[in-house]
Structure 1
């Protein structure tokens, strides 16, 4: 007979598995914004009861990825272009301001960590492992953000970056990732030669362009702004 602790661990494990499944489905586009989730079908597909599914959905709702409506079901809200543009503007302003403030605190050791993150991102992009690429993208930014004395910045940026990372993939997702990787390389080059102005400018005016994240409209190709990597 299983103990209460064992049952709780199993429930947590199932909930985490359901969460990862739904997270991947959102990223890959098999679960599209604007739909109602078929919870019975999900339980059958994953071989789980309603309890771990409910726990996973509560976690997703806390992140703003789904909306649970009593007696109606679970809705996947669409992400508007206006939200993406606002999120990019806010993230760009906060991150560039932070980098400007902490620039002198970036040590050779931290710069090496940024270079390591850059190499891992390049590897993941080459393998088309975009989820791993996005996770490494967050780690790259967190390296310099962690130097900030502002205790609120993480709480503001984390949900914004999380939401943007789970926008459905589309034909230009890889090209957008390549553009962001190029930005990272140029930021690292600028930090290496002590060019604060260039590093901050790339982060504020290029890296967080909405075109780096928006799904292109039919017949329109977003301007991604691929720039050469140099020390500036």
Structure 2
């Protein structure tokens, strides 16, 4: 399934440059684990594969290195970094802080049309789980949370969340199976029910639990895929 148009509209304010396109392709490959941690890259190879000059590739490499996804080594191959548990937990903290505020605001602003939109999304999530379409479910999961930001009147918050949660997403892709998807779906249903009921304390508790679940997930996934994680990482 291609990039969801609604999310694209939320996160893109201008026509993308060549650097933006290169960056997005590399970003998606790294976060989606098509390029696994440890993969070596060169500007020349990427430029040739994408049919662009080396300058936009160099610029995209720099942006990705600033986000912690690439390690640029002079005179040596650039490498996709391993997953940092500390970076994942930091991203979790930022996302939780932002979404708690926007979701509680959405509770106060939501109308029946908004609830129907979220229900439609949940119907599609359920279908994706039944058909074991993990990538589709991941997109719909993001769309559910992005729509709540729209309902809150702050769609720009999703851009901040999306920019900060990428380290979480690499773990999510490793952990995403039918059982995990079903659990996330059930939590989405409960979150929507709390919004409909106008129960802000319950909504806050549900959302915090939903987003904090990755703290437990990362421990299990780190054991199963130790080669993808940093060895000497200090989690605070």
The answer to whether TM tops 0.5 is yes
Instruction: Give the helix-richer structure, 1 or 2.
Output: 2
Is the contact made by 2:128 and 2:136 (CA closer than 8 Å) also made in structure 1?
yes
CA gap 1:93/1:15 in 2 versus in 1, 3 angstroms: closer
Q: CA deviation at 1:105?
A: 0.6
CA gap 1:53/1:157 in 2 versus in 1, 3 angstroms: same
- The 5 Å alignment of 1:49-128 reads 50-51=53-54, 53-54=57-58, 56-57=60-61, 60-61=64-65, 64-128=68-132
Larger Rg computed on CA atoms: 1
Is the contact made by 2:61 and 2:70 (CA closer than 8 Å) also made in structure 1?
yes
Q: CA deviation at 1:199?
A: 2.0
Return the match for 1:186 from 185, 190, 214. Answer: 190
Using the alignment, how far apart are the partners of 2:129 and 2:45 within structure 1? 33
Alignment partner, residue 173 of structure 1: 176
- SS of residue paired to 2:78: strand
Using the alignment, how far apart are the partners of 2:20 and 2:211 within structure 1? 35
- SS of residue paired to 2:69: coil
Alignment partner, residue 51 of structure 2: 48
What is the alpha-carbon root mean square deviation over aligned residues?
Answer: 3.6
Using the alignment, how far apart are the partners of 1:200 and 1:97 within structure 2? 9
Using the alignment, how far apart are the partners of 1:69 and 1:128 within structure 2? 39
Greater RCO (CA < 8 Å, at least 6 residues apart): 2
Using the alignment, how far apart are the partners of 1:167 and 1:137 within structure 2? 15
Give the alignment's TM-score, normalised by structure 2. Answer: 0.68
Give the alignment's TM-score, normalised by structure 1. Answer: 0.69
Count of paired positions: 207
Q: Deviations over 1:35-78 (max 9, x none)?
A: 4324555566x373553644654564465432444544423222
